[in-house]
Structure 1
Amino acid sequence: MYWRRWVRRSFLISYQEENGVESRNPCKCKTILHHNGSGELAYTSRLKTREVHRAITLHPVKDHRQMYRIHTYFKNFRIQELRERSLDLHRDISSALRELGVPADDVDDYMLPGEVPLFPAKVGEPGYLGDNKILGAPLDMNRYKPSEINDIVIYDFISKSLYSAFHSNPKRRIEKPLREALDDVIREVMEIINAPSRQRGRVIDFNELLYGYTRLQPLHGADHVLDLLLKYRRYRGRKMTAAVRRHAYLQQSFTAMEIRELPMGEPSPFEDPDILEKSEDGNTLPNDYEDFDESSVQQNSFFDFGKQKVKEALENGLMKLHENLPDVLKWNNKAFEEYPVHDRMVHFILPLSGRQEIFGRFMRNFEDIVLKSSEAVSLIVVSYLDSKHPLDYRNAELLINYYNEMYGSDIKLVQMGSNVFSRGAALTEGLKLCDDDDLVFFIDVDMMFNHISLRRIRVNTVKYNQVYFPIVFSEYNPDVVNGDEYNKFKGETIVEEIEAEQGVEEEDPVRSEIELANLKYSKEINDDNGYFRQYGFGILGIFKRDFLRVGGFDLSIKGWGMEDVQLFETLIKSNLSVYRIADESLIHIFHSVDCDKNLERSQFLMCLGTKASTYGSEKHMAYYMLNHPEVLWPDDFKEVKEEKGAS
């Protein structure tokens, strides 16, 4: 124990002397031998901190999963270093060939002496090194040459707030992704600046970002111009400390695009209790392991040259590997050719409380897309009695019976009676009618879908791996979208220009029934008709087994909203991937929102926000305000009205 302490103490003194740190202040070494005093919570939060990046040891790590997480985190930095090295090599090649007078378009086919190709692998072939014309472009803030004025990529200005020229909110707080990106850029810049600090006897610390400019060029990368306030400290020779400002012109280049194919099979997670089956003697089968890295079966059989011949070991090992593959990857299985992803059964679960007319519209949509085309989709309706419209409860049952008799379908109805409506409880009740391995899709009665929607649900929801949270397109109020006072100034006459028809009209192509159904249940997607509901989490594709593994809904939440947000946060923290993308085939039809004042404050404010966001676009609101100056300047009009009344 004393020896260990003496060695550690001597190392601290040696490090301090090399870096100009006085030995009587050993606390400086906390930066390299970092101790986190949070106990069990040590290093469980963000790893992207200055302390973690400066340290050579991290202590304590109480959980092996955190050890793997830290290991992966630093491996990512190694990957980043290799990518940067690859970019440097591409730039060196491009620069050298430019000096030789080789045109940029001929670089990929350039032959070295001896008829050796510079880039042997072409696009789509294994070992392809990327497009040198893009990756080898020299570092320049003007790499992108716009052909038109509309193609110019405008900088955003960064100060205490973020200022954008073409954003709907020109002045707003700096979003978290941009803030994190700036932190990464500044940290890397400071590491580059301080790399030769030992030789130069000085350290420069980051103090503050005064202002900056940033833009994203989709082809090349991100450009930053940053005004940094730094602290200069010289510890060798004449010691001094001074504040300095420096402009940094930075460019983060994109590397080559990579595509990774994910198998559509469903390999079970190792820790799933249903997979750890017991044998007759009570021992667990292949998943029980003694060694942390390899199972006992692998230790005793795979490449065990001492007990088996080489050929037998190879065959045994390959068969073990084959048995553990998902069905889609098994080379002697018909599932490789006919994996039933696109025909997989999807179980719709629909909560309903009153709203008979809207439910009738949904059922017509369901009839055209599912019932008439025999799609592998089932429907479970969980109905509540609405005291304001009690007849809707019985009418919903009659409508479901009508469709079941007409198409011989099996639309299920769960009647909740006069219980207090809770969307989470309704979906949970509907799930009870599904098996654990069923793919379920939580949907609302206001949604409109088509065949494209069903395909995306099946493809993007992967058991044990991924859940699908589509970002749906939400319609604005049609009275606003089509209203004159929201689209033109008072007294303004808009003449619609009708283009003269030229030539012979082309006949419409013959479309299949599926294509016609997709067109029927589609809408024009633009900023005037609606918006993608980025903060809506109610529509979800998930396997029931995965839903149960994360704990399901918080059933204590009653009334409108919040249960989907809680589930989304739970899934984000789980080991499941959350796939979230704008889906223009899922349309949320407009309906007025009535916010109950008896809701919890957070639910009530969320309801008001949704109600305001679905009213109309920024353009519609601007026209309305300009056409109604009494709303824009109420005090001025109030004074004028009082003066007229007095006279």
Structure 2
Amino acid sequence: MAKVKNIVRLLWGVFLGNTFCFFVLLKYASNVQDDCTAPQREILQPRRLTWSTNRDMNLIMVGVMTAPKYFDTRAKAVYNTWGREVPGDIMFYSSEGSHSLDIPLVALKDVDDSYPPQKKSLMMLKHMHDNYVNKYEWFMRADDDVYVRPDRLEELLRSVDSRKTWFIGQTGRGNSEEFGLLSLDSDENFCMGGPGVIFSRETLKRVAPFVDDCLEHLYTTHEDVELGRCVRRFAGVSCTWSYQASDCDCKMQVIFYHNQSGNSAFTGDLKLKEIHQAITLHPVKHSENLYRLHKYFKGLKIQKNRHDSLNLQRDLLYSMTALGYNDRPTDGIPDILSPYDEQKRSLWNETALEIPASIKKRQPETLDNIGEWEFLANSLYSTSDLNPRRRYGTSLKEGLNDAILEVMELINHYSKQRGRLIEFKEMMYAYWKMNPVNGVEYILDLLLVYRKYRGHKMTIQVRRHAYIQQTFAGVYIRDADADSPPIFSASSNEVSLPVHKQIQHALLNLHRNLQPFFKFGKNNEEEIINFVLPLSGRYEVFERFMRIYEKTCLSRQEPIKLNIILYENPDSPEDVEKTRNLIQEMENKYYDSGISITFINEKFSRGRALQYGVNNLQEQDLMLFIDVDIVFNEDALARIRRNTIANKTVYFPIVFSLYNPNILNNLHGDNWWSSENIIHENNGFWRQFGFGIVSLYKTDYLKLGGLNLLINGWGFEDVTFYDKAIKSSLQIVRAADPNLIHVYHSIHCDSDLDNTQKQMCIGSEASTLGSLQTLQKIYSDNRNLFETPVS
């Protein structure tokens, strides 16, 4: 009888199952029929997706411990930065009676702000358990001085089974002084509280009911130690030493990063491997640094999105070419496919970015187009500079570090998926070159550490070469207001120029375009500039200076005064007399010429000469220390007034220094130094390390302590004065001025100079002979003069 009943039940079950499947299939067929009869345009219509800031509101609940004194600073900064991007919710916990309108706050009953915050921490966990335990998968305990990267946090948590008991953070066992005093067994640890601690739902369920018991059995004054002990007792887990997922081997000290610099943490350079790898960063003691970190990581995200967009753009172009769309449209591609909708630029115009990376991707058309590789080791070795061995420049060092950082992230993006990690240890050597049109290229010889953490584990050192190419996109300058037209964009004629020429043209003329955008608080266009000019002999050069002074200042009635400090050189008394007559001529020709002369009868010293000129001025006067070899115009005077502000700025213009005219055969005529095309790498160089031309107010000169009057002979007084200015509270304005030209003159290096001055003098003399290209040509054309005859 029982067997018959079982058979009946089986048949009845089969009947019901078949009936249910029949109705399901019927419904499915109906839906398919409806879809098949839908208009084709609706099927091809792309769906518009709407994204919320927090894509999954049930992933994590973050509890931030804070105190009323930090509500308006750190707590508010946390809530306004990473707190708004948490894939879940964030709540701030403080003492009883606390209240704030700027942050979501829970005032914990019977809890104060005393340190250590053991009760605050445990009662916060109990509150999250009692109110949110069934809503979130994960729970985090954080301080208000930690920065969390929500996207990285989400990536980590989604790769972990939240149904298990997890206690995640930076593992600690106490420092050497505390070892053995924290009541921890040899196999016990705790999660350090500063960088943040994460609990799974199961862990919180096991710990929260026993919070009161944990508070009654405290063995130390460390909040994070006691929290770890409580989790160990009632959840049975310790802090995770490391986390191994399908695509990474994450050391907790790396992803939960604690900076040992204290209050100065995260105030310097942020382009560091440790910062890029971290999920949480601690401690951030000042709220402005929380905003600084947030801005930096936003920039990284924008950079990544632009890189991804560029890759998609390239894939799109390659795909369209492969499908036979060889006729490139003039109007670009549809807006829905374009990552540059706001600029309406055609993808087909990005020809430089289309070309895939290749060592031979560009063939030089002429010898001049062949880029010269420079060698990098402990120093920079180059054939394109008069100094073949020199230190790295700041821009090169930063660019090289960025390139290595990005290439290591790219390598590990793929290597982690195969169960291995590659770390950068040292750059053995490198080659690099930059072509303003083609971009930057590196060949790097890198010493790496290869770690395999799946299967047969190993750690070995390897050397690898990396070939890196960074292609330049177009150069343009635009106003911050998106609705305003670009301040500068390359014209059709300028596009064909190299990028550095486009930049040069833009910068030399940018002040004209920027004038409507700037309003100066003080109208100093009529500010009197007091020239201080030391002079010893050299009448012909002084005569040229006075012609320029007359044309630029006297005839235009510029508010300028000229203070000449004239040394009565006994070796050339006729020069002194000629100088006196020329000044008298100018005074007779121009009423109120503003020229004064001070006669000095002693051995020439530029520093003391300038001091004599300063003594003739009032404290509120604007001064310009100038040399008789300088050629200037009204634009240079305007920049001097604009860049020099009393009690605020000192202006050290970078002048363009001309090479020896006897070598420059392409320059002719009496006024060759005033040619519009004079600024060229074969005609001269920017005097980067010359500080003799400076404008400042006398009050600021006195604050800086003036020039070193103990220096005799050639140079060096300007270097020591620049050092004083750098170390002061005044701001230094240092910029190239194309309208300040230093005309070549021969230099005599006195044998009586001290060693430092003598080396500077010889170096200055050698640097003014001619450009490297010019000197190479002279050597090539006269090689027989340099060859030693063989006997």
Q: TM-score, normalised by structure 2?
A: 0.53
* 2:424 maps to 1:206: yes
Conserved in 1, the CA contact under 8 Å of 2:686 and 2:736? no
Relative to structure 1, is the Cα distance of residues 341 and 422 closer, same or farther in structure 2, using a 3 angstrom cutoff?
A: same
8 Å CA contact 2:267–2:289 kept in 1: the answer is no
Provide the residue aligned with 1:615 in structure 2.
769
| CA distance in structure 2 between the aligned counterparts of 1:518 and 1:13, rounded to whole angstroms | 80
- Structure 1 counterpart of 2:470, from 252, 261, 274: 252
Query: What is the CA deviation profile of residues 331-382 of structure 1, one whole-angstrom value per residue up to 9, with x for unaligned ones?
Result: xxxx79x996776654432222333343233212212332233334332223
Do the aligned residues in 2 keep the contact of 1:141 with 1:223 (CA within 8 Å)?
Answer: no
Structure 1 residue aligned with 2:743: 589
Residue in 2 that maps onto 1:305:
none
- 1:227 paired residue among 434, 445, 455: 445
1:438-488 deviation line (CA, Å, top 9, x unaligned): 65433211122344544554566677467351231323152x5569xxxxx
Where do 1:90-129 residues align within 5 Å? 90-93=310-313, 95-96=315-316, 99=319, 106=329, 109-112=332-335, 121-122=342-343
CA distance in 1, matches of 2:328, 2:644: 42
- Counterpart secondary structure, 1:14: coil
- Identify which of 446, 456, 474 aligns with 2:658: 474
Q: Determine whether 1:443 maps to 2:626.
A: yes
**Residue 167 of structure 1 aligns to which amino acid in structure 2?**
S
> 1:178–1:135: structure 2 CA closer, same or farther, 3 Å change rule?
same
CA distance in 2, matches of 1:601, 1:73: 47
Q: What CA distance in whole angstroms lies between the structure 1 residues aligned with 2:709 and 2:384?
A: 39
* 2:715 aligned partner: 561
Residue 6 of structure 1 is matched in structure 2 by 225
Residue identity opposite 1:34 in structure 2: N
Cα distance in 1, alignment partners of residues 630 and 776 from structure 2:
25
Question: SS of the counterpart of 2:593?
Answer: coil
Structure 2: how far apart are the matches of 1:250 and 1:553?
48
Counterparts of 1:33 and 1:454, CA distance in 2: 52
Deviations along 1:299-332, one digit per CA (max 9) or x if unpaired, are xxxxxxxxxxxxxxxxxxxxxxxxxxxx9879xx
Do structure 1's residue 405 and structure 2's residue 560 form an aligned pair?
no
Query: Within 5 Å, which residues of 2 pair with 1:15-30?
Result: 16-18=241-243
Tell me if 1:32 matches 2:257: yes
CA distance in 2, matches of 1:18, 1:368: 76
The aligned counterpart of 2:365 is 148
1:96-144 C-alpha deviation (Å, 9 max, x unpaired): 366457779647654447xx99855458xxxx99996268636534797
1:348 is the counterpart of 2:531: yes
Deviations 1:574-600 (A, max 9, x none): 6635342262x4332332212233333
Quote how far apart the aligned CAs of 1:404 are: 2.0
Counterpart pick for 1:183 among 401, 421, 425: 401
Contact 1:382 1:415 in 2 (8 A): yes
In 2 relative to 1, CA 545–163 (structure 1 residues): closer, same or farther, beyond 3 Å?
A: same
- For the residues of structure 2 that align with 1:260 and 1:545, how far apart are their CA atoms? 38
1:226-305 alignment to 2 at 5 Å? Answer: 226-235=444-453, 238-254=456-472, 257=475, 259=477
1:374 counterpart = 2:557: yes
Rate the CA distance shift 1:104–1:59 in 2: closer, same or farther, 3 A. Answer: farther
Does the 8 Å CA contact 1:155/1:213 hold for their aligned counterparts? no
Alignment of 1:385-424 (within 5 A): 385-386=568-569, 388-389=571-572, 396-413=579-596, 415=598, 417-418=600-601, 421-424=604-607
State the match for 1:606 in structure 2.
Answer: 760
Partner of residue 731, structure 2: 576
Helix, strand or coil at the partner of 1:364: helix
Q: What is the rounded CA distance, in whole Å, between the counterparts of 1:575 and 1:104 in structure 2?
A: 59
Q: Quote the offset at 1:602 in angstroms.
A: 1.2
In structure 1, how many angstroms separate the alpha carbons of the residues matched to 2:270 and 2:459?
A: 30
- Distance in structure 2 (CA, Å) of the matches to 1:577 and 1:137: 42
1:187-221: CA deviation from partner (whole Å, max 9, x where unpaired):
23224444688776644222333444433242463
From 303, 309, 319, the equivalent of 1:83 is 303
Cα pair distance change 1:226/1:359, threshold 3 Å:
same
Change (3 A) 1:18 1:536: same
Taking the aligned partners of 2:290 and 2:528, their CA distance within structure 1 comes to 40
**Counterpart residue type for residue 378 of structure 1:** K
Shift of 1:35: 1.4
- Partner-residue secondary structure (3-state), 1:405: helix
Match of residue 172, structure 1, among 389, 392, 397: 389
Q: Is the 8 A contact 2:451 2:457 kept in 1?
A: yes
Change (3 A) 1:202 1:168: same
Asked whether the equivalents of residues 539 and 575 of structure 2 are also in contact (C-alpha less than 8 Å), the reply is yes
The RMSD of aligned alpha carbons is: 5.1
Higher gyration radius (CA) = 2
User: 2:561 touches 2:594 (CA, 8 Å); kept in 1?
Assistant: yes
* Unmatched segments (≥5 aa) in structure 1: 21-25, 263-326, 484-515, 641-647
Q: Note the C-alpha offset of 1:387.
A: 5.4
CA deviation after TM superposition for structure 1 residue 244, in Å: 1.8
**One-letter amino acid of the counterpart of residue 232, structure 1:** Y
What whole-Å deviation, never above 9, does each CA across 1:24-60 have from its counterpart, x for those lacking one? xx99779932314xx9988887665556666754669
CA contact (8 A) 1:449 1:586 kept: yes
Aligned length: 516
Please give the per-residue CA displacement for 1:525-559, whole angstroms capped at 9, x wherever unaligned: 55665444343232234565665666654455443
CA distance in structure 2 between the partners assigned to 1:624 and 1:133 by the alignment = 42
Amino acid at match of 2:735: R
Q: Deviations over 1:264-290 (max 9, x none)?
A: xxxxxxxxxxxxxxxxxxxxxxxxxxx
2:428–2:445 Cα contact (<8 Å) kept: yes
What is the Cα deviation at residue 606 of structure 1? 0.2
Question: 2:350·2:473 contact (CA, 8 Å) conserved in 1?
Answer: no
> Match for 2:470: what amino acid?
Q
Aligned mates of 2:606, 2:348 — CA distance in 1: 51
Higher relative contact order (CA 8 A, sep 6+): 1
Q: Which amino acid aligns with 2:756?
A: S
Q: Deviations over 1:361-413 (max 9, x none)?
A: 32122123322333343322233444544665565455333312221133343
Which residue identity lines up with residue 225 of structure 2 in the other structure? W
Q: Give the % identical residues.
A: 31
Within a 5 Å distance, the mapping from 1:544-555 to structure 2 comes to 553-555=707-709
Judged with a 3 Å threshold, the aligned counterparts in structure 2 of structure 1 residues 69 and 256 are, in CA distance, closer, same or farther, namely: farther
